[in-house]
Amino acid sequence: MAQAPSSTPLQDGPPAVGSKLQEIRKAQKLSLDELSKRAGVSKSMLSEVERNQANPTVGVLWRLASALGLSLSDLLAGGNADKASPTVELVPAHSIPVTTSPDGKCTLRILGPIALAGKVEWYELAVEPGGVLASEPHEAGAREHLSVLSGTLTVQAAESSKVLKPGDSARYAADVQHCIRNPGKGLAKAVLVVEHLG
């Protein structure tokens, strides 16, 4: 079962779910096209994930697992199941998944483990001047906690709005429309924690 050399570096990074994903897809007799449509994930992204040539976001993995009738932990259980968990698990900086907002001005590094997705998630957020990270309401009771490390950020949840400077933290309802924007002239950095109470 030879793998392409390009997939080797992922051995020390995040779980290489590609081979397990492909194995489950084939066991369920689904084509790439069928799983792509069912999960709402592009065929090219799905193909890259199966070949371990992409670091999928938590959202993409969740959609794929759901489309296959699995939980995220089921999908991630392969490959490393027989290995004892190390006391300290290192996740190298280069292997931390990154997602970008539609305007291209907000970058989220996904710091939390995939196993906690849907419970508590945390991110390193970088917002360029004028950047806006707008979100639709999460599930009832969800909250976000934003701590600014550098620059200035404005947080709006429903009709309430606050300006945060370095060292400030905001805690707000995330089950309403909410957004984070950078009104300043320089890059702003923050830690964002999303708390799901479902």
6-58 pLDDT per residue, tens: 444 444 455 567 888 888 888 888 888 888 888 888 888 888 888 878 777 77
Query: Which pLDDT score is estimated for 24?
Result: 83
- Between 149 and 101, name the one with better pLDDT: 149
Instruction: Please determine, for residue 197, whether its predicted confidence score (pLDDT) is greater than 80.
Output: no
Report which of 183, 186, 149, 187 is spatially closest to residue 168, judged by C-alpha positions: 149
Query: Which pLDDT score is estimated for 158?
Result: 93
Q: How distant is the alpha carbon of residue 64 from its chain centre?
A: 14
Q: How many CB atoms lie within 10 A of CB 103?
A: 13
- Among residues of the chain, what percentage have pLDDT more than 70? 86
What distance in Å separates the CA atoms of residue 66 and residue 117, rounded to the nearest whole number?
A: 13
Q: Where does the pLDDT of residue 103 fall: very low under 50, low under 70, confident under 90, or very high at 90 and above?
A: confident
Report which of 175, 57, 169, 77 is spatially closest to residue 117, judged by C-alpha positions: 57
47-100 pLDDT per residue, tens: 888 887 877 777 788 888 878 877 777 777 654 444 455 678 787 888 888 888
